[in-house]
Chains A and B, each alone.
Chain A
Amino acid sequence: MSAIFAAATTFDVPANVAFGILSVLMVVAAIRVVTTRNVVHAALWLVVVLGGNAVVYLILQAEFLAMTQLLVYIGAIVVLFLFGTMLTRAPLGESDDLDNSQRFLGAVVGVLLLGVIGYAVARTWGTDRLDFAAYELPPRVDGLVAASGNGRTQALANTIFSDYLIPFEVISVLLTGALVGAIVLARRD
């Protein structure tokens, strides 16, 4: 009995249970996204997948990314999808005209792809365990607080603004370009 409690106080058991429930939920929701016959329902099932993704990030101890996922995806992108559904006057309610005639071939491709990726992943990574050791390394910039516990977001910021500063700026330019492009495309002349 005490062994059970001892095991339950470690990170592994609750995280594994949470992961099991979550992965079943996410896979079912993802399948509903690509099979449902209602466009709005597809967007709502997508919310379940994206939210589940955020919780997976939390299990992987990436708190900042989990919050970014919630803000950017559920806050912005799903709303954008619903706007797109509205502006293109997609059929509200059931519609049989959302899939083309390639369903069988598509399923074959999906299963084959899953088989290949799954086999390669299972062969390559075997029983490697997550150890989170990489998170505990001190950041390479001298004089800044070492990454541990609550300092992980700080370490992420240090990484972005030291090693990846130029890619970060390029991403900013990309976002500006996408913004301008979207306005130019969608504007009525």
Chain B
Amino acid sequence: MLLNQFLLLAAVLFSVGVYGVIVRKNGVLVLMSVELILNAVNINLIAFSTFWGLSGQVFALFVIAVAAAEVGVGLAIVLLIYRNRRSVDIDQLDELKG
């Protein structure tokens, strides 16, 4: 098997995730797109670990742990936004815009 086929699959998933982060308005859906991006990175790490030893797999485990933490805090923030504004439309959160 070629290394490239895994890297290209990961590139496609990454690009789709970036599209989702840009286009989606609902906070929960944006977090789902971030998960797509993180998973694409994991495929890369594990594909490279077949060349350079198990460090890649260790880092993929770390990415999974960080993703779990990110989703926990992220959903808590989305929940807080919903509680304060009765909506999770992140395009309306523009108080910082000058």
**With A105-B22, A113-B14 in contact, do A65 and B52 touch (Cβ < 8 Å)?**
no
Q: Which of B8, B36, B72 is in CB contact (< 8 Å) with A49?
A: B36
A56 at the interface (CB under 8 A from B): yes
Tell me if A160 is interfacial: C-beta within 8 Å of chain B. yes
Docked complex Cα distance between A147 and B49 (Å): 14
Interface residues of A in 1-47 (CB under 8 A from B): 12, 15-16, 19, 23, 26-27, 30-31, 33-34, 39, 42-43, 46
CA–CA, A27 to B26, complex, Å?
Answer: 22
Question: Whole-angstrom distance between the alpha carbons of A96 and B66 in the complex?
Answer: 32
B residues 13-41 touching A (CB-CB < 8 Å): 13-20, 22-29, 31-33, 35-36, 39
Tell me the number of A-to-B contacts counted with CB atoms below 8 Å: 252
Q: How far is the CA of A43 from the CA of B24 in the complex (A)?
A: 14
C-alpha spacing A113/B20, complex, angstroms:
13
A186 and B80 in contact, given A90-B28, A98-B25 (Cβ under 8 angstroms): yes
- Please tell me the size bucket of the interface on B: 35 or more
Residue of A nearest to B70 (CB): A178
Please classify the interface of chain B as helix (H, G, I), strand (E, B), loop, or mixed, using the class held by over half of its residues: helix
Kindly provide the distance from the CB of A34 to the nearest chain B CB, expressed in whole angstroms: 3
Query: Is there contact, CB below 8 Å, between B1 and A81?
Result: no
Shortest Cβ gap from B75 to chain A (Å): 4
B29 to chain A, nearest CB (A): 6
Chain B residues whose CB sits within 8 angstroms of the CB of A167 once the complex forms: 62
Question: Chain A, 44-84, contact with B by CB distance < 8 Å: what is the 0/1 string?
Answer: 00100110010011011110110011001100110011011
The 4 closest A-B pairs by CB, nearest first: A178-B69, A34-B20, A110-B19, A185-B76
Binding site for B on A (CB under 8 A): 12, 15-16, 19, 23, 26-27, 30-31, 33-34, 39, 42-43, 46, 49-50, 53, 56-57, 59-62, 64-65, 68-69, 72-73, 76-77, 80-81, 83-85, 87-90, 97-100, 102-103, 105-107, 109-111, 113-114, 117-118, 121-122, 125-135, 137, 147, 155-156, 159-160, 163-164, 167-168, 171, 174-175, 177-179, 181-183, 185-186
